[in-house]
């Protein structure tokens, strides 16, 4: 900690530090961030150039298809439907995952086997079972996503609970802190990094499972997964790629909108 | 202010190899406003004694009473200071102190702001209310942790090697601050340490512990005025006495364990 402070305070006076404007540094930073995507685009285009379009379409064709889907309206209805399912399922798995995580930390011998059992069942089986239980409805989509995603949260919360600094708990005991004070000031803040990490993985999982679930639920969902499937069924590979790219975009966007601000908020005390 | 009576305190822990006696039949008194140091090798049950006084650990045998009240019935009003500052890194200095104030109820207490300001002034921390732990030095974190124990206005301070993890210069500074703070209102202090010089600098009375199972090897009273001066003739004389007592207890212990084998 001390070393860090020293390093930071030395930097401005260090003669080796290059004088750069804020704008130049911003550009350099963006370039570094964009570079991997640039490599991806180049590789994609090389592949697309050497393959026939029905095997591997070019990015231009894919983007055109996305625009067409948008003009058609199906892009928006599909996205809305999937976003709804993912959002509801993510909330459910966050809450139920946290509760199960607490149970896992407290009654491990009881909870761990049950959770392992639920987690070992393949997602496809959950998708099929939920069709039997809930029929061709959106509920079955939400159920499949939530049941696939909540163990991630549960395991992380349990790990976080086990890693709470016993010294802080001892301190709390020495001032006779009640349960509310312990939870609010020690347990929850200790859990934050675990919950954020879990949320990030869980949200990504939700998006991926949503495709699977919607594929099985068919037209009842009308979501991205269903559209992906029908694009495949009707041999429209460019559309298939278009929906996939769109899904990846949505995934990254949701991380930016929800997880990154959460992370910044939770770690705000670390900044000077 | 509190007095402590410890009668025939024995503490055993259950281990895989059977019960392990850490403290073996200790009897001692600490007077109102006395500064007592428990001095002994590591693992000699000094911290266990503190935890028993605090009522955090139950005695296997024997009784501990603070102000005549058995600690098993009612935990004494103590302030506990650990070797590590044990501060919440996600809370500011002020919020860490607030935690100690509100701990039992979760609700604000009367005069909260003033009590925090007072104790920060006492510890020379005024102006650092809004700082987080990674923004202040180790010595300052230590002061915050002492402030945290003072803020509850305890009659009894239990200190478990509070300066053990600090460099000697910082520790000296904090020790002299502790002495001047203590001299204002003379709360009862039980201070655990393995540092002979520290014990001699601070204590009214030093209890030298034997290695495990712990008994009291000797009791040394120090009748020097404060603030004491490191390296002074008088303090040096006391240190020599304490060192001799420690040596004697260690050699006795070695002799006994050789005989036992």
Nearest beta carbon to residue A167 from set B84, B92, B132: B84
Does residue A91 carry a pLDDT above 50?
A: yes
Q: Looking at residue B1, what is its pLDDT? A: 67
Hunting for tokens 């509760």 — which residue is that? A99
Q: Which residues pair with A200 in a beta bridge?
A: none
Measured distance CA(A104)–CA(A119) in Å, rounded: 14
Its ipTM equals 0.85
End-to-end CA gap in chain B: 46
The pLDDT-based confidence of A226 (bands split at 50, 70, 90) is very high
- ω into A195 cis (within 30 of 0): no
Q: With bands split at pLDDT 50, 70 and 90, how would you rate the model's confidence at A19? A: low
Rounded Cα–Cα distance for residues A204 and A198 (Å): 10
The segment with the largest mean pLDDT, out of A15-19, A77-81, B120-124, B257-261, is: A77-81
Q: Which residues in chain B touch residue A269, judged by CB atoms under 8 angstroms apart?
A: 89-92, 132
pLDDT at A112 over 80: yes
How many percent of chain A have pLDDT more than 70? 92
Alpha-carbon distance of B221 to B239, in angstroms, equals 12
Residue from A9, A169, A269, A272 whose CB has the most chain B CBs within 10 Å, to mutate: A269
C-beta separation of B9 from B62 below 8 A? yes
Does the distance separating the beta carbons of A180 and B134 come in below 8 Å? no
pTM of the predicted structure, to 2 decimals: 0.81
By C-alpha distance, the chain B residue nearest A5 is: B135
Distance CA B62, CA B52 (A): 11
pLDDT tens per residue, range A185-221:
999 999 999 999 999 999 999 999 999 999 988 877 7
User: What does the alpha-carbon distance between residue B46 and residue B26 come to, in Å, rounded to a whole number?
Assistant: 12
Confidence of residue A30 (pLDDT cuts 50, 70, 90): confident
B203-206, long-range: CB < 8 A, 24+ apart: B203/B35, B203/B36, B203/B37, B204/B34, B204/B35, B204/B36, B205/B34, B205/B35, B205/B36, B205/B37, B206/B36, B206/B37, B206/B39, B206/B242
Supply B176's token pair: 């002299």
Binary contact (B104, A180; C-beta < 8 A) = no
Positive or negative, the CA dihedral B224, B228, B229, B231 is positive
- Partners of residue B85 in chain A, C-beta under 8 Å: none
Instruction: Report the pLDDT value the prediction gives residue A5, as an integer from 0 to 100.
Output: 43
From B56, B95, B105, residue closest to A173, measured CB to CB: B56
What are A27's two structure tokens? 């550009």
* Residue A8 pLDDT level (bands cut at 50, 70, 90): very low
- Could you give the CA distance from residue B251 to residue A43 in angstroms, rounded to a whole number? 77
Number of Cα atoms under 13 Å in the Cβ half of residue A152 = 21
Distance from CA of A98 to the nearest CA of B (A): 21
Mutation to test the A interface, candidates B86, B104, B146, most A Cβ within 10 Å = B86
Which pair of structure tokens corresponds to residue A181?
């004070």
Non-local CB neighbours of B194 within 8 Å, separated by 6+ positions: B39, B40, B41, B42, B46, B161, B164
CA triple B216-B218-B222, angle to 5 deg: 125
Alpha-carbon distance of B44 to A135, in angstroms, equals 68
Q: Domains in chain A, start-ordered, CATH in brackets?
A: 57-271 (1.10.3720.10)
Chain B residue numbers touching A184 (CB-CB < 8 A): 106
Q: What does R_g of chain B's alpha carbons equal in angstroms?
A: 19
Question: Does the pLDDT value for residue A75 go beyond 50?
Answer: yes
- Report the pLDDT value the prediction gives residue B2, as an integer from 0 to 100: 82
A18/chain B closest Cα distance in angstroms: 27
The pLDDT tens digits along chain B (261 residues) read 688 888 888 888 888 888 888 888 888 889 998 999 999 888 788 888 998 988 888 888 888 888 888 888 888 889 999 988 999 999 999 999 999 999 989 899 988 999 999 889 888 889 999 999 999 998 899 889 989 988 988 889 999 998 888 888 888 888 988 898 899 888 999 999 999 999 999 999 999 988 878 888 888 899 888 888 888 888 899 899 999 888 888 888 778 777 766
């Amino acid at each position: 900690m001390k070393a860090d402070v020293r390093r930071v305070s030395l930097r401005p006076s260090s003669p080796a530090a290059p004088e750069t404007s804020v704008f130049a540094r911003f550009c350099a930073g963006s370039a570094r961030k964009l570079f991997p995507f640039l490599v991806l685009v180049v590789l994609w285009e090389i592949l697309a150039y050497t393959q026939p379009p029905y095997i591997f379409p070019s990015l231009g064709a894919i983007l055109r298809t996305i625009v067409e889907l948008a003009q058609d309206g199906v892009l928006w209805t599909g996205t809305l439907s999937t976003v709804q399912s993912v959002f509801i399922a993510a909330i459910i798995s966050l809450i139920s995952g946290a509760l199960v995580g607490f149970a896992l930390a407290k009654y491990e011998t009881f909870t761990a086997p049950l959770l392992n059992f639920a987690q070992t069942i393949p997602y496809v089986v959950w998708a099929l079972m939920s069709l039997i239980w809930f029929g061709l409805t959106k509920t079955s989509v939400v159920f499949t996503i939530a049941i696939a995603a909540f163990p991630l949260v549960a395991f992380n919360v349990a790990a976080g609970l086990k890693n709470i600094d016993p010294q802080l708990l001892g301190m709390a005991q020495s001032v006779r802190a009640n349960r509310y004070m312990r939870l609010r000031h020690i347990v929850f803040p200790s859990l934050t990094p675990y919950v954020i990490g879990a949320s990030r993985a869980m949200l990504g999982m939700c998006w991926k499972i949503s495709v699977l679930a919607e594929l099985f639920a068919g037209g009842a969902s009308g979501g991205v997964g269903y559209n992906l499937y029908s694009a495949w069924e009707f041999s429209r590979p460019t559309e298939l790629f278009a929906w996939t790219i769109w899904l990846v975009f949505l995934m990254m966007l949701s991380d930016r909108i929800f997880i990154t601000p959460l992370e910044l908020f939770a770690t705000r005390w670390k900044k000077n | 202010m509190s007095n402590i009576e410890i009668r025939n305190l024995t503490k055993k822990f259950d281990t895989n190899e059977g019960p392990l006696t850490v403290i073996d039949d200790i009897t001692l008194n600490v007077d109102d406003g006395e500064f007592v140091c428990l001095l002994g090798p590591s693992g000699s049950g000094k911290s266990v004694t503190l935890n028993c006084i605090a009522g955090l650990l139950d005695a296997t045998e024997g009784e501990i009473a603070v102000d005549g009240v058995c600690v098993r019935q009612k935990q004494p009003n103590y302030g506990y200071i650990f070797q590590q500052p044990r501060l919440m890194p996600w809370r500011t200095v002020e919020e860490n102190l607030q935690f100690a104030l509100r701990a039992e109820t979760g609700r604000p207490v009367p005069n909260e702001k003033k009590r925090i300001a007072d104790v920060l002034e006492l510890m020379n921390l005024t102006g650092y209310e809004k700082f987080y732990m990674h923004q202040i030095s180790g010595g300052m974190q230590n002061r915050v942790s002492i402030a945290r124990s003072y803020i509850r206005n305890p009659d009894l301070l239990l200190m478990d090697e509070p300066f053990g993890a600090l460099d000697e210069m910082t520790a000296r500074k904090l020790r002299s601050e502790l002495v001047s703070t203590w001299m204002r209102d003379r709360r009862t202090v039980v201070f655990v340490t393995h540092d002979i010089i520290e014990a001699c600098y601070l204590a009214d009375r030093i209890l030298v512990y034997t290695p495990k199972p712990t008994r009291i090897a000797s009791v040394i009273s120090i009748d020097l005025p404060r603030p004491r001066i490191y390296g002074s003739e008088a303090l040096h004389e006391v240190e020599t006495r304490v060192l001799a007592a420690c040596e004697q207890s260690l050699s006795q212990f070695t002799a006994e364990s050789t005989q036992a084998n």
